[in-house]
């Protein structure tokens, strides 16, 4: 009972052995993360097309719930660049509606339900079908869109609200270059300069936060708004309370489409970051529990005026590097952000939108990871093609949903192409020894008494044609065939039909087929499909603990048949 409770509420196990020293390290890490999260969360909310305060709300609630319910000790949940861009793309058609914000909150809830269902249904391994190259391509494309999307605000040029394709963004920008505001552009350039200089001085300094603080001082005491520099405006100095939101069938139906790619990317981000940090920390991450944690985080956040969140690589990495020991560091980061909102919100109204735009542009540029692109390119065409096609789709397609679907589809197609070859080799007894030697199938003699064929891997429909081709040339070359299946991890009905056809052809030619190394699960399949009956129970040898034991017994049986 206690183990089941701890599985449902993983933070209880953390609290059991929590010490003052762990608390001290978690507090330091949480405070550092909060410093970085403040400008990031505001910037990401702008990318999503909503007021910056909702980004702060999301960074508070998602970080707390995600840390309590997830599997990783270091993953920080909250607004992210990719998720924010997908929200902007998916919700663009609903801009202007009176209930737009309520639809955002409903979207958050649906995304949470989808993520939690993936965890409950144990679909943690399914994320592997979204290849790393797809994520790199999408991230780079998103970086380009994000950076270009903020140029208008950075230069003081009026822009259309909501998500736009890159071509339209560039066209609008070129049309309105004569409307550039020198004061606004100066603020943007200054923020970029401060961040880059501080990064060169000391990478651990919170450059964006310092630059924004300087812009607040400049806006307040130099009266930048009088020179046409737009300011963020009032930021509520209160925490979000629990609120119900619109939840009817029609709205849910409309938002399922945008929710699916947001959930996919969110889960991939969360588990990739968790496993990446776990490889350094030594922690064992449970993908399904992380899915549940991400789902619960989004579902709860929806009732506190939050938009969809996911795992943040930047904030999670900072959390780990700053010495966080347990999941409570993420909780502390959320609590510190809440304190900032309560006591420092009045300063927020002086933040120039151009300053936030400059921070977002830097974030977008940093997403185009040239080193990662070179690494993927070096891996070959199977990785390069999904990267560039996803990158192109992300930039050119009017809806980002399809960029994700295209990337996943291409990854699966290339995966099936690369795995549609069956591994079939010969096993030849070693003269004077107890073992066998593997040889290529091309070494099959034209005529012999016994052929031992070693088949390995996952025999699914994708390899059935190749398996049929390789086995098709064997009938008539031997009197007895031994098919060794010890290393066959699984077999489906399509590949089973190929084996059945091979057995029938061999029998028609007067030969015999024996099976050896048969695992228990395959034994059940052979029995249920009556293939065992057609082969004959005396011709099936089940896998033993000792290597080649069933193969030797099958070989003895084959010798007896060959000599009869």
Q: Comparing C-alpha atoms, which of 503, 498, 466 is closest to residue 481?
A: 503
Percentage of the chain surpassing pLDDT 90?
A: 28
Choice between 521 and 558, residue whose per-residue pLDDT is larger: 558
Residue 58 is predicted with a pLDDT of: 96
Q: Which of 51-60, 315-324, 535-544 is the least confident region?
A: 315-324
Is pLDDT at 114 greater than 90 in this prediction?
Answer: yes
Residue 435 is predicted with a pLDDT of: 65
Mode of pairing for the β-strands spanning 512-518 and 540-542: parallel
Greatest mean pLDDT range, 376-385, 439-448, 496-505: 496-505
Q: Comparing C-alpha atoms, which of 95, 96, 31 is closest to residue 63?
A: 31
Q: pLDDT of 246-295, one tens digit each?
A: 788 899 999 999 999 999 888 888 887 787 678 677 788 888 999 999 99
In this prediction, residues 11-26 reach a mean pLDDT of: 89
Which two three-digit tokens encode residue 154? Answer: 């950075």
Residue 108 is predicted with a pLDDT of: 97
| Mean pLDDT rounded to a whole number for the chain | 85
Query: What is the C-alpha separation between 557 and 551, in angstroms, rounded?
Result: 10
The CATH number assigned to the domain with range 423-563 reads 3.30.750.24
Is pLDDT at 68 greater than 90 in this prediction?
Answer: yes
Q: For residue 204, what are the CA distances in angstroms to 194, 262, 356, 369?
A: 14, 31, 20, 20
Residue 194 is predicted with a pLDDT of: 92
Residue 303 is predicted with a pLDDT of: 95
Query: What is the C-alpha separation between 58 and 298, in angstroms, rounded?
Result: 9
**H-only helix segments in 397-487:** 400-418, 461-472
How many other C-beta atoms lie within 10 A of the C-beta of residue 151?
18
Query: What is the C-alpha separation between 379 and 381, in angstroms, rounded?
Result: 7
Greatest mean pLDDT range, 274-278, 405-409, 414-418, 449-453: 449-453
Query: What is the C-alpha separation between 336 and 322, in angstroms, rounded?
Result: 16
Is pLDDT at 441 greater than 90 in this prediction?
Answer: no
Choice between 391 and 129, residue whose per-residue pLDDT is larger: 391
Is pLDDT at 432 greater than 60 in this prediction?
Answer: no
Q: Which of 1-5, 21-25, 423-427, 547-551 is the least confident region?
A: 1-5
Cite the residue boundaries of each domain of the chain with CATH code 3.30.750.24. Answer: 423-563
Cα dihedral 470→472→478→479 (10° resolution): 130
pTM for the predicted model, two decimal places:
0.71
Q: How confident is the model at residue 159 (pLDDT cuts 50, 70, 90)?
A: low
How many other C-beta atoms lie within 10 A of the C-beta of residue 147?
20
Query: What is the C-alpha separation between 469 and 490, in angstroms, rounded?
Result: 19
User: How many C-alpha atoms does 24 have within 13 Å on its Cβ side?
Assistant: 3
Greatest CA separation found in the chain?
A: 105
Is pLDDT at 3 greater than 60 in this prediction?
Answer: no
DSSP classification of residue 231: B
- Give the chain's length: 564
What does the angle CA 316 – CA 322 – CA 326 come to, to the nearest 5 degrees?
65
Give Cα 289 to chain centroid, integer Å: 15
Choice between 250 and 429, residue whose per-residue pLDDT is larger: 250
Is pLDDT at 520 greater than 60 in this prediction?
Answer: yes
CB 117 within 8 A of CB 295: yes
Q: How confident is the model at residue 188 (pLDDT cuts 50, 70, 90)?
A: very high
Query: What is the C-alpha separation between 541 and 551, in angstroms, rounded?
Result: 8
Cα dihedral 549→552→557→560 (10° resolution): -150
Hey, CA dihedral for 410, 373, 208, 319, is it positive or negative? Answer: positive
Q: Comparing C-alpha atoms, which of 492, 423, 428 is closest to residue 455?
A: 423
Query: What is the C-alpha separation between 117 and 259, in angstroms, rounded?
Result: 13
CB 451 within 8 A of CB 484: no
Query: What is the C-alpha separation between 411 and 385, in angstroms, rounded?
Result: 9
In this prediction, residues 21-36 reach a mean pLDDT of: 88
Q: pLDDT of 521-539, one tens digit each?
A: 888 888 888 888 888 889 9
Is pLDDT at 204 greater than 80 in this prediction?
Answer: no
What pairs with residue 491 in β-bridges?
Answer: 459
In this prediction, residues 333-340 reach a mean pLDDT of: 93
Residue 5 is predicted with a pLDDT of: 55
What pairs with residue 482 in β-bridges?
Answer: 452, 514
Cα dihedral 462→463→468→469 (10° resolution): 110
Hey, CA dihedral for 115, 120, 121, 125, is it positive or negative? Answer: positive
Residue 8 is predicted with a pLDDT of: 73
Greatest mean pLDDT range, 177-181, 259-263, 431-435: 259-263
In this prediction, residues 290-304 reach a mean pLDDT of: 95
How many other C-beta atoms lie within 10 A of the C-beta of residue 444?
16
């Amino acid at each position: 009972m206690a183990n089941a409770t701890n599985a449902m509420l993983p933070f209880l196990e953390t609290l059991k052995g929590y010490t003052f020293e762990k608390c001290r390290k978690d507090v330091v890490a949480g405070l550092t993360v909060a410093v970085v999260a403040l400008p990031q969360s505001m910037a990401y909310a702008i990318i999503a097309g909503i007021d910056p305060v909702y980004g702060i709300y999301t960074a508070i609630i998602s970080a707390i719930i995600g840390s309590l319910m997830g599997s990783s000790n270091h993953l920080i949940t909250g607004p992210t660049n990719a998720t924010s861009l997908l929200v902007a793309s998916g919700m663009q058609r609903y801009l202007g509606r009176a209930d737009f914000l309520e639809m955002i909150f409903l979207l958050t809830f649906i995304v949470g339900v989808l993520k939690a269902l993936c965890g409950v249904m144990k679909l943690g391994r399914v994320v592997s079908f979204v290849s790393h190259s797809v994520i790199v391509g999408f991230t780079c494309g998103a970086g380009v869109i994000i950076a270009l999307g903020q140029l208008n605000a950075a230069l003081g040029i009026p822009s259309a609200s909501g998500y736009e394709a890159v071509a339209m963004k560039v066209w609008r920008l070129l049309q309105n270059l004569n409307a550039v505001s020198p004061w606004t552009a100066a603020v943007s350039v200054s923020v970029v300069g401060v961040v880059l200089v501080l990064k060169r001085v000391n990478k651990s300094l919170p450059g964006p936060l310092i630059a924004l603080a300087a812009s607040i001082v400049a806006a307040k005491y130099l009266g930048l708004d009088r020179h046409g520099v737009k300011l963020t405006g009032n930021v509520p100095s209160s925490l979000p309370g629990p609120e119900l939101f619109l939840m009817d069938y029609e709205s849910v139906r409309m938002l399922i489409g945008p929710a699916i790619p947001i959930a996919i990317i969110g889960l991939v981000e969360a588990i990739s970051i968790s496993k990446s940090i776990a490889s350094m920390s030594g922690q064992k991450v449970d993908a399904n529990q992380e899915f549940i944690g991400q789902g619960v985080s989004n579902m709860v956040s929806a009732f506190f005026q939050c938009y969809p969140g996911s795992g943040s690589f930047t904030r999670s990495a900072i959390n780990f590097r700053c010495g966080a020991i347990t999941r409570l560091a993420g909780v502390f980061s959320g609590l510190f952000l809440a304190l900032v909102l309560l006591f420092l919100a009045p300063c927020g109204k002086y933040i120039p939108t151009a300053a936030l735009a400059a921070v977002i542009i830097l974030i977008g540029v940093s997403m185009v990871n040239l080193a990662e692109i070179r690494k993927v390119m070096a891996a070959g065409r199977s990785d390069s093609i999904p990267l560039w096609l996803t990158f192109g789709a992300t930039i050119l397609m009017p809806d980002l949903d399809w960029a994700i679907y295209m990337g996943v589809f291409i990854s699966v197609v290339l995966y099936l192409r690369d795995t549609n070859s069956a591994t079939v080799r010969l096993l030849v007894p070693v003269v004077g020894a107890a073992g066998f030697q593997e040889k290529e199938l091309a070494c099959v003699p034209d005529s012999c008494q016994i052929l031992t064929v070693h088949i390995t891997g996952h025999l699914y429909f994708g390899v059935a044609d190749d398996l049929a081709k390789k086995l098709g040339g064997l009938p008539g070359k031997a009197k007895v065939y031994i098919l060794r299946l010890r290393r066959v991890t699984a077999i489906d009905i399509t590949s089973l039909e190929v084996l059945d056809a091979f057995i029938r052809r061999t029998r028609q030619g007067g030969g015999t087929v024996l099976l050896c190394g048969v695992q228990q699960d395959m034994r059940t399949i052979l029995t249920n499909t009556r293939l065992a009956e057609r082969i004959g129970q005396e011709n099936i040898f089940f896998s033993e603990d000792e290597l080649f034991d069933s193969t030797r017994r099958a070989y003895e049986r084959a010798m007896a048949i060959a000599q009869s």
